[in-house]
Chains A and B, each alone.
Chain A
Amino acid sequence: MTKTPRHGFTGPSRPSGLTRRGFLARSGLIGCSLAASPLLTPVSFAAAPWDSRLVVIILRGGMDAIDVVQPYGDPAYAGLRSSLRGGPQNGGLDLDGYFSLHPGLAPLMPLWRAEQLGFIHAVSTPYRDKRSHFDGQDLLEAGTPGLHQRRDGWLNRLLQITPGVEARTAFAIGQGEMKLLQGAAPVSDWSPDAEMALSPQAERLAGLMMEQDPLFHAALAEALDLADSAPMDADGAGSAEATGSMGQAKARSRPHQRIASYAAQQLRGDSRIAAFSINGWDTHNRQTGALTRALGRLSDTILTLYRDLGPGIWDKTAVVAMTEFGRTVRENGTSGTDHGTGGAMVLAGGAIRGGRVHGLWPGLEEAALFDRRDLMPTGDVRAHMGWIMRGMIGTDAQQIADVVFPGVELGADPGVLRR
């Protein structure tokens, strides 16, 4: 195909009075909202409203808490699991003489010994009985007592009641949907895998074209803004000229590590909250391999945050990983586990009081189980998260109970943060 250079446009349907040159000269006048958007105006950041860092990781698929933090000291444990039996005699890493850790998290043992890794066992959201991933995740991210009560997420509501919040304060990272950050407060979302190469003219025309469509307009403005600030390695920075304003680093590590790395980079700057998810916890069948791989992704992620945040920031960071529900206490017929209720939260960071398994262990006797099949939840994920936000950000307890997690029983401070 031969390329004909086109310097001018002579098409008959050009709106009268609008030429490309004229458009460029007057682009600030064509639409006020366009000119006011980050598309044309650099954004400046106010001082961050608080100084601690919070990373929320949603473990999608229902993590089997009993296989991750193995209650080998519970007399009923051995009878419930055959191929999934942990404990120090089966490769589990002893934590405290009662619980042992799945070997998939072995790389995190130094953090455990430094008391910067901890767990909260036997917790759940208020979601009961039906055990659907999708409803379970919706409820986890809405943070309400029941389904379909709010359309926004609890992390967004936290931002709504915190003064001084800007779009860069909180980030949803990666390609999955993060409902917990959706809502009225401004947040940023970006995937380190996204890339774009537009000429300045095409950027402006795209902006003009999308101006009337709020969904597209907002996404484009944020994309252009974020792409400008995306991390670049040495090569990426050099080629930025050549690829327009959108040059970006070539990613070499695995996706979850890139996401963690991008989160750390933002958190070293003005951002205070990052949220993303790690999938792959739905282990109905042959759980050992699948769980080991998922835990490998989780431990890589935590270690990438640890490394890239650096000691100064890591010390004031809480990483909180949570899942929509736990799994059945009994192993099923296919060396896996089915959807259950009580689960666990994984905590890491210098702000965490680690080196211990928090929570009230209900026991695995059949009468102690939920529905005679699931780990009985003795704590509410929302209450623990509420206390973490209280301690990290200073959010008022009453506001947590009224706005962030409406109706939650906060109870006494369970003390999962270092004081």
Chain B
Amino acid sequence: MRFDGELAEIRFGCGLSPLHAPAAGPERLLADLQAPDHAAQTWSIPGFDAALADARAYSAARRARKAAAGSPDFEMRDRDLKHQRAQMRDHQADWFVRRLLRCVTTPHGFRERLALFWADHFTAQGKIAALRYAATPYVETSIRPHIAARFEDLLIAAVTSPLMLHYLDQHRSTGPNSRRAKRVAQRQGRVVGLNENLAREVLELHTLGVGGPYTQQDVRQLAELFTGMIYDTTEGFKFAPGWAEPGAETLLGKRYDAEVTGLAAIKQALRDLARHPATADHLAHKLAVHFTRDTPDPALVAHLAARYRATSGDLTQVYAALLEHPAAWQPDLENVKPPFAYLASACRALALPAAALTGLSRAQVNRFFLRPMQRMGQRWEVSNGPDGWPEGDATWITPQALAERLRWCMSVPTQVMVQGAGPLPAPLQLLRSALGGRETAQLRFVATAAETEREAIGLILASPAFQRR
């Protein structure tokens, strides 16, 4: 393997920056993961408790408005609710800018990439207004601290997050023979029971993979085992034994006695799933696709899976296996940057000062980033499903998505810099900071043949060489 610092920043980091020298070697990339999380400290985002606080305030405001229906207080209560909603939208815009700035300013781009990768692997979104903007605090609490731990710790953190329980309907799933099911039947004459959504996605998406060695019966058993995991907006995650299906469940041939051990049995099942050989294969393939190309070198996948199995899913060791393999350093750039990574790497290459981004109003964040990202096919925090964003290059470079990328890079950098009141770099200077040793005579020509500086900058950022990694 030949280490290439610029390639490391492009392929494994957030792109080149005129403000940071490229990484010195693979050991450095790995060591940086163990260092204190400076990016998270500088651009801090509150944890999931803040999302729960927002959800409580929202629900209270909505209840108050409902109670005031028809009374003279109604208008005031209605204003309170709108104010609360606006505040939550402000939070979302602020948190978006902070996540963007982490990618724009960090010397440790690999950490940001891994945080995005695992957040996507464990996609969770709020489905009700009270939790609509909870995805970023969820990532902050349940994903980011565990990206260099064992996979089982990450899995347990994600699966027991209130947002995941909410997103995949687990917080209502009740054991058909549980105390709660009997009570509800008796007092309300209503039947409550299982919902297999989370159990299915844990097997299919989070661990074994869709081709994995499990059956519908395993889905059902895991759904029964999962009963009891709920949350409320005051305390967050809770294990409620009264909701749990009594008796043992058998998952992939192994018995878990939830009645005796409750949450401990669920965690054991998750650890066993995390250590399953099929999980190693599934995650190895996903990592290889994400960091190299749509159809990865089978030798690379096998190498990652072997390291995963040998270390019981120690993620840092798996990353080491990735960085030591020659297939990871193939010099041609293959993968297309998804919209968020693309915009972040453009801001990074332009060395946009933080003040230009922190000074944006919510409306400007929407206009400059969130709406363009949606038109590029990536609506922020709203993917099509629990499988997260697609990896295929052709998904992102459709005619309409490319049209939007062109529109964005021709217009938004200039507008943001007007906000930040600084000059944009000269086109040839940008070419150097954006592409490093990958700049070509043709790109230099394009950069100088454009009719305006704005278009020259846009064209550099629109070049396939910059849009791939």
Contact = CB atoms under 8 A, between A and B. Distances in A.
Contacts, number: 192
Given A130-B210, A338-B197, A194 B399 contact: yes
A206 interface: yes
B384 A60 contact: yes
B442 to A, nearest CB: 7
Contacts of B398: 175, 189, 191, 219
A371 interface: yes
B145 interface: no
A195 interface: yes
A366 B225 CA distance: 25
Given A193-B400, A215-B397, A205 B195 contact: no
B192 interface: yes
B455 A201 contact: yes
B399 A129 contact: no
Contacts of B453: 6
B193 A333 contact: yes
Interface of A is mostly: loop
Contacts of A226: 399-400
Interface string B35-78: 00000000000000000000000000000000000000000000
Contacts of B418: 1
Given A175-B377, A202-B459, A206-B459, A20 B397 contact: no
A66 to B, nearest CB: 17
A282 interface: yes
Interface string A195-231: 1111101100110111011011001101100110000
B446 interface: yes
Contact of A190 (B400, B407, B447): B400
A220 B402 CA distance: 7
B25 interface: no
B427 to A, nearest CB: 8
Interface in B411-469: 411, 417-418, 421-424, 427-428, 441-453, 455, 458-459, 462-464, 467
A333 B174 contact: yes
A135 interface: yes
Interface in A155-209: 175-177, 189-191, 193-199, 201-202, 205-206, 208-209
Contact of B451 (A1, A61, A201): A201
Contacts of A1: 417-418, 421-424
A132 B219 CA distance: 11
A25 interface: no
B257 interface: no
Given A14-B448, A216-B464, A338-B196, A189 B400 contact: yes
A334 B192 contact: yes
A196 B458 CA distance: 13
Interface stretch (B150-158, B279-287, B301-309, B385-393): B385-393
A284 interface: yes
A333 B377 contact: no
Nearest to B216: A129
B449 A205 contact: yes
A14 B443 CA distance: 10
A18 B197 contact: no
A42 interface: no
B410 interface: yes
Main SS class of interface, B: helix
B238 interface: no
Given A190-B399, A279-B384, A13 B191 contact: no
Interface residues of B, number: 71
A320 to B, nearest CB: 22
A23 interface: yes
A198 B195 contact: no
Contacts of A209: 442-443, 446, 459, 462-464
A176 B169 CA distance: 25
Interface in A119-163: 129-135
B166 to A, nearest CB: 10
Given A1-B422, A23-B449, A216-B402, A132 B204 contact: yes
Contacts of B422: 1
B202 to A, nearest CB: 13
A285 B462 CA distance: 43
Contact of B445 (A15, A215, A223, A339): A15
B248 interface: no
Contact of A198 (B210, B392, B397, B410): B410
A349 interface: no
A20 B195 contact: no
Interface in B183-203: 190-197, 200
A216 B333 CA distance: 13
Contacts of B400: 175, 189-191, 193-194, 223, 226
A336 B195 contact: yes
A371 B215 CA distance: 12
Q: Determine which residue in B195, B393, B407, B467 has the highest number of CB atoms from chain A within 10 A of its CB, and name it.
A: B195
A215 B393 contact: yes
A223 B450 contact: no
Nearest to B384: A279
B195 A371 contact: no
Contact of A195 (B377, B407, B423): B407
B161 to A, nearest CB: 17
A9 to B, nearest CB: 4
B264 interface: no
Contact of B397 (A60, A195, A216): A216
A90 interface: no
B197 A132 contact: no
A33 interface: no
B395 interface: yes
B17 interface: no
B445 A196 contact: no
A399 interface: no
Nearest to A20: B449
A199 B455 contact: yes
Given A190-B400, A285-B172, A176 B384 contact: yes
B197 A333 contact: no
Contacts of B417: 1
Nearest to A134: B387
B399 A332 contact: no
Contact of A219 (B197, B399, B459): B399
The 9 nearest A-B residue pairs measured at CB? A333-B193, A194-B400, A223-B399, A196-B403, A213-B464, A191-B400, A9-B448, A222-B399, A334-B172
Given A1-B421, A134-B210, A220-B399, 13 more contacts: A6-B452, A13-B428, A13-B444, A15-B441, A18-B445, A61-B385, A177-B392, A201-B450, A209-B464, A213-B464, A215-B397, A226-B400, A333-B195
Interface of A: 1, 6, 9, 11, 13-15, 18-20, 23, 60-61, 82, 129-135, 175-177, 189-191, 193-199, 201-202, 205-206, 208-210, 212-213, 215-216, 219-220, 222-223, 226-227, 246, 279, 282, 284-285, 332-334, 336, 338-339, 371
15 contacts: A1-B417, A13-B441, A133-B387, A194-B403, A197-B411, A201-B455, A208-B446, A209-B463, A215-B397, A219-B399, A223-B400, A226-B400, A279-B384, A284-B197, A333-B172
